[in-house]
Amino acid sequence: MDIVSKLIKELKLKKFQVENTIKLIDEGNTIPFIARYRKEMTGELSDVLLRDFDERLTYLRNLESRKEEVIRLIDDQDKLTDELNKKIEKAETLQRVEDLYRPYKKKRRTRATKAKEKGLEPLAKIILDQEILKGDLKKIATPFIDEEKDVKTIEDAYKGAMDIIAEIVSDNPEFRKKIRELTFEKGILVTSAVDGDKESVYEMYYDYKEPVKKIANHRVLAINRAEKEKYIRVKIDIQEEEILSILKKGVINNKKAITNEYLISSIEDSYKRLIGPSIERDIRSTLTEIAEEKAINVFSENLKPLLMQPPINGKVVMGFDPAYRTGCKIAIVDGIGNLLDYTTIYPTEPQNKVKESKIILTELIKKHNIDIIAIGNGTASRESEMIIADLLKEVDRKVYYTIVNEAGASVYSASKIANEEYPDINVSIRGAISIARRLQDPLAELVKIDPKHVGVGQYQHDLNQKKLDESLKAVVEDCVNSVGVDLNTASTSLLRYISGISKSVAKNIVKRREEVGKFKNRKELLDVKRLGEQTYIQCAGFLRISGGDNPLDNTSVHPESYSVTMNLIDKLNLSKEDINEGKFKMIDLLLKDKSMDELADELEVGLPTLRDIINELKKPGRDPREEMPKPVFRTDVLKMEDLKPDMILTGTVRNVVDFGAFVDIGVKQDGLVHISQLSNRFVKNPMEVVSVGDIVKVRIIDLDIDKGRISLTMKDV
């Protein structure tokens, strides 16, 4: 089956969708561009499906390439048969191709290669052929004794021949396939403590068993980490009799051969020394790969709602970065994120200067007309929250506070980007600026940080870093392009995620802005150094210009569709200037009885593109984040001691993992809604029910104040 047919079958797509999408990818178009501006060609495939398509296409192409290479390598040895060639061509996975290639692969020096060098291959063949039914075993081996080659005894000769047979059995691709499937189906993963008395977070794995086929992905990663840190040993147990029976049945064809005792020993050695450990490594590697893929998906799915949290526009925000010994850092930013003021206060341990700190904060609130205080959720967060809640009762102005996820703020503070933005500001203050600005516009601020550091994953440091980086970069790219950015205010960090724009081109855009001034229209992008026609096509629709020469430049309508859009506007007896006046809100009434299909035919445009144009004219410059839940703003604080079972609270989902969701309910410790407590129905994946940033109602079902554990439920709340 060719690649196109496979993709049609696997992704349940039509032939035109697959062929057109491959063509678009091969032409160098980005996924956001294809998803948004080539809907007619792809049959409106989403960015998520297009990412899966691209990944699978790459795998299948690599598979075909490896098949060709393996066929060539075996053919170079004059060992390629028609049957083997067919098996390789029919292989569905890289693992199967490697299994088929294994017997022909050049090996490092093994016990078998050493035995071959000693001239023992003919003896191995005699044993494998099983043709000698009578005679003397010693006589059979005598011709192979050669002191110069270190074959001094009959036993040495048979031992070497058995090593050769063990490797031949081990290299058999059909045996490996059967044993791998059987081990996966019937194997038991067993873990035991290296030091039974040693306290650790891995104690549940000190004596643990679970069927290989049932083990949960997060447990695979936990076991891997515990093993890496030398707390546990891990092995896969399986009944060897069944496996040895398969091997013996496949190898022994004459039970009367007098050499069979050596053949049976070779088979047993092959499994215990070669096949068993190799298959165990394969299976653990497969389990890890699946678990990592799931963890990367969890991270990616958590990252999207975090990035897509709605901006808080036009509010003066105080960023409050809590700490103990070094003091709490305060930064105030205006409605568009410009730094107005900053200081350090010491209300927490060991200084405890609460009164002095409150005076400073009150003066800052009055001086800058602060609307919201954004408190970082790290060390000393809850103590700081209590001080702020107390202070807000005393100030005349109506001020709210909210807890902001500060993960990655310290990484940003010390970064090159932060140094370029605030060269004269102390590193410690930059964290408070980041906290304030990520409340105002989470997407614009969080793109400055490596996505790994935003605190919404599980086991992220144990994962394949290249795959994780690629996956998270794709999420950021999709989010930035779905929102679009203001060409005249966007930072380099934001611009480099726009479709088609590289880091250097992003810098050139900012440089051009600084030297020439604001962009007045999208066409001026072509004046930017190293931004050619192809890049312009990819990026133009995602870059907005407010108050420029053409109102369409402030929409996601692509310049290639401007003439169609103008024809539509003419049909409605309106002008493009009416876009800013909101006259297109009632466009459905203006179109009267004309169907969309008729209109698309008249305008000679695809139906999906026409729909997108009309939606943009209705709400020019619409921000999709407006539909997301807003953060919870508070004026008072809860303490752990205030909590009681059955209390119902509103909280914010901070992280979603395989086994449930962590919810910030306004106390020091996030509570856990276990997967079994997310809904009255059975939940296979917590993400079916909740996402990061969701505002949810929860009921407390259990408390352990000493251990700081809160168990929550969302059932019947």
Look at residue 632 in the predicted model and tell me its pLDDT: 76
Whether residue 525 is found in the same domain as residue 547:
yes
Calpha distance 108→665 (Å, rounded): 59
Range of the domain at 669: 640-713
* Identity at 676, one-letter amino acid code: S
- Residue 489 maps to a domain: no
Give a yes or no: residue 206 inside a domain. Answer: no
Same-domain check for residues 619 and 652? no
Task: Give pLDDT, residue 377.
Answer: 86
Residue of 396, 398, 373 lying closest to 386 (CA atoms): 373
- Kind of pairing, strands 660-664 and 709-713? unpaired
> What is the signed CA dihedral for 366, 372, 378, 380, rounded to 10 degrees?
40
Provide the 8-state DSSP code for 151: B
Helix, strand or coil, per DSSP, at residue 191:
strand
* Pairwise CA distance, residues 431 & 441, whole Å: 15
Measure CA 11 to chain center: 20
Total domain count, the chain: 4
Burial class (CB in 10 A: 0-12, 13-18, 19+), 158: buried
Look at residues 85, 104, 123 and tell me which one is the last residue of a structural domain. Answer: 104
Phi-psi region of 43 (alpha: psi -120 to 50; beta: other; left: phi over 0): left
3-class DSSP state for residue 333?
Answer: strand
The verdict on 516 and 608 lying in the same domain is yes
Does 707 reside within a domain?
A: yes
CATH number at residue 701: 2.40.50.140
User: What does the pLDDT read at residue 192?
Assistant: 95
Tell me the C-alpha distance between 226 and 215, whole Å: 16
Q: Are 457 and 367 part of one and the same domain? A: yes
Together in a domain, 12 and 73: yes
- Rounded CA-CA distance 692/309 in Å is 9
pLDDT of residue 638: 67
Which residue has 């601020």 as its token pair? Answer: 445
Neighbours of 244 (CB within 10 A): 16
Residue 223 lies in a domain: no
411 contacts: CB under 8 Å, gap ≥ 6: 449, 450, 453
Q: Are 155 and 187 in contact (CB under 8 A)?
A: no
Give the whole-angstrom CA distance, residue 709 versus residue 706. 8
Ordered DSSP codes for 454-467: SS--SSGGGS-HHH
Give phi and psi for 195, each to the nearest 5. Answer: -135, 100
112-119's contacts with Cβ under 8 Å and 24+ in sequence apart are: 112/163, 112/164, 112/166, 112/167, 112/168, 114/160, 114/163, 115/160, 115/161, 115/163, 115/164, 116/164, 117/149, 118/146, 118/149, 118/150, 118/151, 118/160, 119/144, 119/146, 119/149, 119/151
- Residue that finishes a domain, picked among 73, 104, 135: 104
Give the whole-angstrom CA distance, residue 384 versus residue 389: 9
Verify that 621 and 529 share a domain, yes or no. yes
Alpha helices by DSSP H, 531-646:
533-539, 562-571, 587-590, 596-603, 607-618
- Whole-Å CA distances, 138 to 150, 153, 156, 157, 591: 17, 10, 12, 10, 99
Backbone angles phi, psi at 329, to 5 degrees: -90, 135
Q: What parts of the chain have a pLDDT lower than 70? A: 589-590, 592-593, 637-638
Question: Which pLDDT score is estimated for 293?
Answer: 92
- The per-residue pLDDT for 590 is 66
pLDDT digits (tens, 9 = 90+) for 311-336: 998 999 999 999 999 999 999 999 98
Do 410 and 337 share a structural domain?
Answer: yes
- Residue ending a domain, among 56, 72, 104, is 104
Q: At what angle do helices 607-618 and 596-603 cross, to 10 degrees?
A: 100
Which pLDDT belongs to residue 42? 98
User: Residues 412, 535: one domain?
Assistant: no
- The pLDDT of residue 228 is 94
Alpha helices by DSSP H, 229-270:
240-251, 260-269
Q: Say if CB 310 and CB 630 are below 8 A apart.
A: yes
Rounded Cα–Cα distance for residues 141 and 243 (Å): 30
pTM of the model: 0.83
Same domain, 610 and 517: yes
Q: What are the residues whose beta carbons fall under 8 Å from the beta carbon of 76, sequence distance 6 or more?
A: none
Residue 254 to residue 248: CA distance in whole angstroms: 11
611 and 646 both lie in a single domain: no
**Residue 228: both structure tokens together:** 């890496």
CATH number of the domain to which 65 belongs: 1.10.10.650
- Is the Cβ–Cβ distance between 303 and 456 less than 8 Å? yes
Asked if the structure places residue 690 within a domain, the reply is: yes
Q: Are residues 618 and 658 in the same domain?
A: no
Residue 58 lies in a domain: yes
Which domain CATH number covers 341? 3.30.420.140
With CA atoms as reference, report the closest residue to 317 among 344, 336, 291, 303: 336
Quick check: is 306 in a domain?
Answer: no
Tell whether 80 is covered by a domain: yes
Whole-number pLDDT of residue 668: 73
464 plus 336 within the same structural domain: yes
Q: What is the DSSP letter of 631?
A: P
For residue 611, give the CATH number of its domain: 1.10.150.310
